[in-house]
Structure 1
Amino acid sequence: MALLAADGIDARYGDVRAVTGVSLSLAEGELLALVGANGAGKSTLLRVLAGAHRPFAGTVAFRGEDVTGLRDFERARRGIALVPEGRRLFASLTVRENLLVGAGSRRTGRWNVGSVTEALPMLAPLLDRNASQLSGGQQQAVAIGRALMSNPEVLLLDEVSLGLAPIVIDELYASLAAVRDGGLGVVLVEQDLDRTLAVADRIVCMLEGEPVLEGTPASLSREAITDAYFGHVAAPAGGGAGGPGTAGDDAGAGNGGAAWWS
């Protein structure tokens, strides 16, 4: 049984389709990366999985239980946590207070302020500083730490590296290895192909709301992924479901794939 599974997800904003007929699954301890250009529907799909956006059609299951009708805070109590693009911290609260907000789900487990600062060491000297005083990378670390404080079984990460300096991104990705210890499943939306290939167990490339390529980093060439990214594939490969569809939404996902060439 999959840890998290989506079946036939359609998501819309009014009459505009953002995601069309997407089915995917996540296993315990797996890191699944969603890649694709701006507008591919990656962030929308992540919000559907988290319960922050209700799908027009399709179902989401967690450990075999249909959670499609549950809202985001109800899914957090089940063990699904979202780190949204834009971080969305409480600027007037300290780092410690922002982390404690994440403990509101009242789930028990390995994550507390001490273990979070051990996994994300840049936070240790910042606990009493207001979130408004932090750099972008520090704020991203707080957002990840806040999600971990809910002791999730599934962590949904939207654009971890967006707008951050390379040295900060390196530190965050180094922390990701410690975060994954213990069987945590991760779905990562990312624009940087090199980092994605280095950390992902499986990659799904989306185009205009649909998956067009799927496989492991070892089974997919860089050329195949970039072709899929820009829509230069005639049919899905490696288990993808469906070809190019209608335009999707992907707020803040980057710009036209420029990061692929960095």
Structure 2
Amino acid sequence: MDENSTTERLWDIARRFGVHEPIGLVGTSLPPFDISQPNFHLSKADFSAELQAVEKALKDTESLALFLAAPYRETDTLKAVATPVSEVINDQACKSAQAIVPKSPIDLIQKNAGDTDLCFATAILLLDTRSGLISRFQQLKDQERTYWNLKGRAPNHYARAIALRFARLVAKHTGKRPTVGVSREGNFPSTDFGRALEEIFELLDIKAVFRRHAQWAVAELTDDDFRVEPVNVFRDLMNFSVDQVDPRRDALAAIFGTDAKGDEE
């Protein structure tokens, strides 16, 4: 089966659990969840180095995003400190943008950010970067538990990875813990989740019995896996009305969950 057919079949399965394709030009070309092979490191030292680097990048990214967003959040304790810094950065970026004649997508991005509000744009991009770092950090913690803290015979890592990713997808969209069972007539799945996972294993040519990996994956789910994923911040910004006094404040208030009211400009 070719890649496109596999992706279409995976979306058919995902729709049974309330998962729908993202709106956009390229969204439907991707499967509903990551089906790549787990990323193996050559040594535990290599693994630990990446884990530490991602953890540090996550903290640094969040710290910078919060600082740059502070001027737009009325109750932020950093507002008084961050506002003059933000003004200098935006002023410099605005002057630089005036000299840019866009000849590439990067030029256009830089000019648009400078012409509008560089600090705000950077804070938004950092929040999306933070989301990607969180995903990678979770992957690494999964790998740590699965590959680097094991005793005895190693399991089928790919089967485990796919089962866990699919279980998280189902939990995120249904808000319920997937169930696993077999029929009395034989070792056949008796639940929707089990039947779907068995189909996925067949699609991805994974030679494994679904039950063991499904049970392991469900047991690995945490409270965070049942929380609704935040909507992409760019899509949120597209919904703001031009009649708003300062949509940047409202946008960041929604993102950070804090009061961002301010005097009208």
User: Shorter-chain TM-score: what band?
Assistant: under 0.3
Q: TM-score, normalised by structure 1?
A: 0.27
Q: TM-score, normalised by structure 2?
A: 0.26
Q: Work out which structure has the larger RCO, using CA pairs closer than 8 Å and 6 or more positions apart in sequence.
A: 1
Bigger radius of gyration: 2
